[in-house]
Every structure is written in C-alpha cells, then in structure tokens.
Amino acid sequence: MLPLAKASDSVWPSGSPPGYERRRPELGTLHKVVRENLQTLLSAAEQGFAGAPLPDFVRAELEGYVHCGLLQRGFALVACRDCGERHLVAFSCRSRSFCPSCMGRRMAATTLNLLAHVVPSVGLRQYVLTVPHALRARLAYDGRLLGAVSRIFVDSVLGWYRRRMEIEGAARGQSGAVTVVQRTSADLKLNPHMHLVALDGVFVAGSSDGKPVFHALPRISDTAVADLLQVIRARLLRYLIRHHVVEDDEGETRFLADDLQEREPALAQLAAAAVAGLPPAGPELRRKPLTVVLPASDGPKVVRPLCIEDGGFSLHAASRVGAEDDLGRTNLFKYVLRPPIAQEHVTLTEDGLVAIQLKKPFRDGTVSVEMDPLSLVSRLAASVHPPRFHSIRYGGILAAHAKLRPFVIPPPPPETTTAPGAQDACHSLPMAKPPKPRPATHRCGYVPWQRLMQKLGIDVETCPRCGGKMKVIALVRDPQGIARYLRHLGLPTEEPSMAPARGPPFWQSRVLRRRYGEPPDAAQA
C-alpha cells in the first residue's frame, strides 16, 4: 500500500501540482454525449435493429473510451527524479479507433518514430484513394479484403513509380511507401480509405559501393494521375470479381451480398447507415438495400488539380513535401495519422444536437454537420476497427524485409545505441537497462517492464517544472486505495455516471449540414 503524505506536508498544497494541468476527459462534450447515449444505443441495437446486440469489440471500445483518463479507475503516481515534482496519471483506453486523447498521443509518437527511424530524407507525396459507397461497409469489416485492396493500391503506385522513372532514365529503381487506413470521413461517415505516403522518386542501387542513389520524380500532370487511377481501378475490379465480391453482369458491376448481415446483423445495419449518413433506424431509414451496382466508368474526371475521379473511385495526389521541409513532413504524417474526431470540434447546439465542425469545408461548402446525439454515438460505434486490424503498412523499399531498407532509412543517432538509460524515440518511457544492440531495421523495441505501463496506457513525460525525467513510483489500482488517495487530495471519488437506456423512439432522425455563409435556419437535411 502506498504511504499517504500527511495533510500538512501534502505534495500538492493546491490539490494539483503547479504548472501541471491534468486532462479532464469527463468535462468534454464528446465524453458527455457518449456517456449519456451509450446504454441507449446498446439497448436500441438489441431491441430495435435485428434483435441482435452489438458485438463485444464495439461495446468494449465505447466503454473503454468512457473510462479513459478517469482517476477513479486507477492511476500511476509519477515523480520527477530531479526535483521531486509529483502527479497522478490516469490509465488510458489505448483506443485505436476514435478516442481523441489516445489517438492523438499515438499520432505524435508514430510520427516521431516514422521520421526518426523509417522515412529517408527525400521528397514525399501523399496519394489518397477512396472507393465507391457500395464497397465501404464490406471493406470496413472484411480485414482480408481491406488488406488486399491496400496491397493492390501500394503495388500499383510503386510499380507506376518504377515505370515512370525508367522513362526518366533511372532503370530498376525502387520506391517505398507508408500506408495508413482511415475508417471515416471528417463527418464520421463510415468511409474506409487509404492514405499512402510515397517516397517521391526511386532509389537505384549504386554501382560501386552498393549505396542506393535517389532519383526524384519530376512534376506530374493530371493525365499521369488519371492513368495511375485507371491502373488501380482495373486491378481492384479484377480482384473483386475473382474473389466474388462483385460480379460483372453484361457491363454492369453488381455488388454481391456478404455474410456480415447473418454474422452480425446489428453491425451490418449500423455500418450501412454510417456509410449513407443516416440513423440506423427510424423514419429516415430506407429499408431497401444499399446500392448494389458499382458506378460505371465514364472516363476519368479532373475534380481539382491532381485529383481524379473515375467510376466511384477517386485518387488525390496533390500534396507533396520537400526533403528539407521538416515541419511539412511532420504535418503530413500527423495528418494521415490523425484521430477521426477532435475534442474541440464537437459542440452541443441550443436545440440539443451535436455539431461537428469540419476542419476543412467539404466541396459543397458544408462547414459543419449536426445530428442527434444517438446518431453521433452510432457513427462512433461504426468507426471501431475490428480486432487484429493493422492500420499502418510499409511497402517497397520500406518493407521490413526489403534488401535496400537498411541503406535508406535514417542513420541511428549515436546516443540511442550507446548511452545507458537512453530513450527509444518511439516510446517516451526511459529504459531500465542499456539497450542491446539491434539490427538497424529493428530499432523500435520494448523492454519488459514497460509492458504493464503500456497495457495501462501510462505515458511518463518530462517534468513540467524542471524538464527532468518523470518516473512511475506506484500504481494504484484497488478501489479502496484509489478512493483513499483521491479523498486525501480533495478530488471526486465517484466517476461520472452513465445515463440509463432510454426507451424508443430512439432516433430523432435528423442530420443537418451547414454551409458557409448560410443563416442557421437554412441548414439542410
């Protein structure tokens, strides 16, 4: 049991240490909305949809979010080794789906790791691929299909680099890519799409010392992007036909039903609604099945410069950052790894709807989307990744087994392999022992004692007072210990309560889009 400080020599005279502001997730709008509607969604699924409950992984993720960051669920006591500064760090849900805090931290850590250990200092270009509506719900819950689609996308882009650079005189070149799957659009509609960050050119193995030389891709045109999209689309359709996801019926590409409806009826309905942007039940739900025919190609269309649409697929290739642009590179990876929803963009309107402010307006001028709270929680539920889903993949020269990879990734900074107690750049926890030398391709490792910390989502940071290293000195997990400690510090011992399930009718069935410059009452459904 952890010894408590006496009231007179309390470590924090004011209840919290100076300069340290603990995150208070329970005060945010998103947290409140989930807390007040989660039980209703669970019971609506069971009674309302197909008489089937939502699967456990969805439920666990939503409940995990409600408990994330609450001191009443347990915490670590951390202290600064240098100045003795102390504070409490609550356990995190470690969500990989939507928790803005956990995903925000993951975004920052992964960006740091990619730039320090994986991505060479060459120009980078982002390619974003979206697929037709009819495919989205299926892709969202079929990990194998999603894996295949992302592999085809990566192969097509890397092959395209090889062919184009051959024309430029760089034969047998190899590019590389980091691909991130995002599951939703900015308005939280279910829309699995891929962000691929490619090395904008190819590496060619050097003749004398074997060290590869980079050849950058010259400017690209809309025609080049349109050609690439046609390659990707043709390869994807061939794959989908071969694997009986769609069938080609006299020139019409029909979508074949999958077994999600039978396996997980509630999830299937939730997914279909989240793709269409409708509530999963209520008067607005059209009971006819979702579009079954893939749109036919009427030739590639230039939507914006370097952004092409063709038969329901779209490819965007306009974002590029230079080799020297450190801020641009950081922002690019943060963008592709960002959480689907930002805490500060969710607000409650006067008429009880939840508004999501879009960071970038949609093409039709929509700047915010409003929906009833239960619809928002339904969309969050659809945004939860199925288990064992890998959202980041490495391809080409950046793949783990690529022969040239050790020659192109950034060289290790000298202190990460020599200094005892040095920090691994991908984890902010100090290491217990000097790290063992590891091959250059596998510098991102874990030391055993960190496992528990990671399981509990505890991240020790730099001391806010002196900049020293914070260290976990105790974990408080038993309810009595937690209550005793919180009472001592004058903090609430009761966690914020979850609202009980409400009865039907569940959905107000209103989703509004606000456009720039429109008066509030002109919002359109």
- Read off the amino acid at residue 519: P
d(CA 428, CA 113): 11
Residues paired with 76 in a beta bridge: 89, 475
* Closer residue to Zn ion (CB): 106 or 235: 106
- Read off the amino acid at residue 18: P
* Closer residue to Zn ion (CB): 221 or 462: 462
- Candidates 429, 472, 465, 427; CA nearest to 75 is 472
Shortest distance in whole angstroms from residue 10 CB to Zn ion? 18
Q: Are 392 and 119 in contact (CB under 8 A)?
A: no
CB under 5 A: which stretch of 12-20, 80-88, 346-354, 471-479 binds Zn ion?
A: 80-88
What number of CA atoms fall less than 13 Å from residue 142's CA on the CB side?
20
Which of 51, 82, 473, 524 is close enough to bind Zn ion by CB under 5 A?
Answer: 82
Q: Are 152 and 239 in contact (CB under 8 A)?
A: yes
Give me 236's structure tokens. 């994807």
* Closer residue to Zn ion (CB): 100 or 300: 100
Which of 93, 124, 306, 346 is close enough to bind Zn ion by CB under 5 A?
Answer: 93
CB under 5 A: which stretch of 73-81, 251-259, 282-290, 368-376 binds Zn ion?
A: 73-81
CB under 5 A: which stretch of 93-101, 208-216, 260-268, 357-365 binds Zn ion?
A: 93-101
Count CB-CB contacts under 10 A for residue 357. Answer: 15
Give me 55's structure tokens. 């699967």
Tell how many helices (H) and how many strands (E) occur in the chain: 14, 19
* Cβ contacts of 396 within 8 Å, gap of 6 or more: 154, 158, 174, 175, 176, 177, 199, 402
85: contact with Zn ion by CB under 5 A: yes
90: contact with Zn ion by CB under 5 A: no
Shortest distance in whole angstroms from residue 347 CB to Zn ion? 20
Which of 104, 295, 468, 481 is close enough to bind Zn ion by CB under 5 A?
Answer: 468
- Candidates 249, 131, 138, 239; CA nearest to 193 is 131
Which of 260, 294, 380, 463 is close enough to bind Zn ion by CB under 5 A?
Answer: 463
326: contact with Zn ion by CB under 5 A: no
**How far from 468 is each of 16, 383, 434, CA to CA, in Å?**
18, 38, 19
* Closer residue to Zn ion (CB): 34 or 99: 99
Give me 239's structure tokens. 């794959």
Which of 37, 92, 130, 156 is close enough to bind Zn ion by CB under 5 A?
Answer: 92
Shortest distance in whole angstroms from residue 388 CB to Zn ion? 19
Residues paired with 309 in a beta bridge: 301, 314
Tell me the angle at which helices 265-276 and 373-382 cross, rounded to the nearest 10 degrees: 110
Instruction: Give residues 102-121 in contact with Zn ion (rule: CB under 5 A).
Output: 102
**How far from 116 is each of 440, 471, 496, CA to CA, in Å?**
12, 24, 40
Shortest distance in whole angstroms from residue 173 CB to Zn ion? 42
Q: How many of the chain's residues bind Zn ion (CB under 5 A)?
A: 14
Q: Which helix (H) or strand (E) holds 193?
A: strand 190-199
* Closer residue to Zn ion (CB): 412 or 468: 468
* Closer residue to Zn ion (CB): 86 or 334: 86
Instruction: Give residues 265-324 in contact with Zn ion (rule: CB under 5 A).
Output: none
Which of 256, 432, 452, 466 is close enough to bind Zn ion by CB under 5 A?
Answer: 466
341: contact with Zn ion by CB under 5 A: no
Shortest distance in whole angstroms from residue 458 CB to Zn ion? 12
Beta strands in 188-312 (DSSP E): 190-199, 201-204, 213-216, 246-249, 252-255, 293-294, 301-304, 307-310
- Computed on alpha carbons and rounded to an integer, the radius of gyration of the chain in Å comes to 25
Q: Are 274 and 116 in contact (CB under 8 A)?
A: no
> Maximum distance among all alpha carbons in the chain?
83
d(CA 109, CA 94): 13
* Closer residue to Zn ion (CB): 98 or 485: 98
Shortest distance in whole angstroms from residue 100 CB to Zn ion? 8
465: contact with Zn ion by CB under 5 A: yes
The residue behind tokens 């269309």 is 301
99: contact with Zn ion by CB under 5 A: yes
26: contact with Zn ion by CB under 5 A: no
CB under 5 A: which stretch of 61-69, 122-130, 288-296, 328-336 binds Zn ion?
A: 61-69
* Cβ contacts of 404 within 8 Å, gap of 6 or more: 174, 203, 205, 212, 397
Site string for Zn ion, 171-210 (x = CB under 5 A): ----------------------------------------
356: contact with Zn ion by CB under 5 A: no
334: contact with Zn ion by CB under 5 A: no
Shortest distance in whole angstroms from residue 25 CB to Zn ion? 8
CB under 5 A: which stretch of 13-21, 335-343, 345-353, 462-470 binds Zn ion?
A: 462-470
Shortest distance in whole angstroms from residue 356 CB to Zn ion? 19
DSSP 346-368: EEE-TTS-EEEE-SS--TT-EEE
* Cβ contacts of 56 within 8 Å, gap of 6 or more: none
Shortest distance in whole angstroms from residue 463 CB to Zn ion? 3
* Closer residue to Zn ion (CB): 134 or 456: 456
Shortest distance in whole angstroms from residue 469 CB to Zn ion? 8
* Closer residue to Zn ion (CB): 92 or 314: 92
Residues engaged in binding Zn ion (CB under 5 A): 68, 80, 82-83, 85, 92-93, 95, 99, 102, 463, 465-466, 468
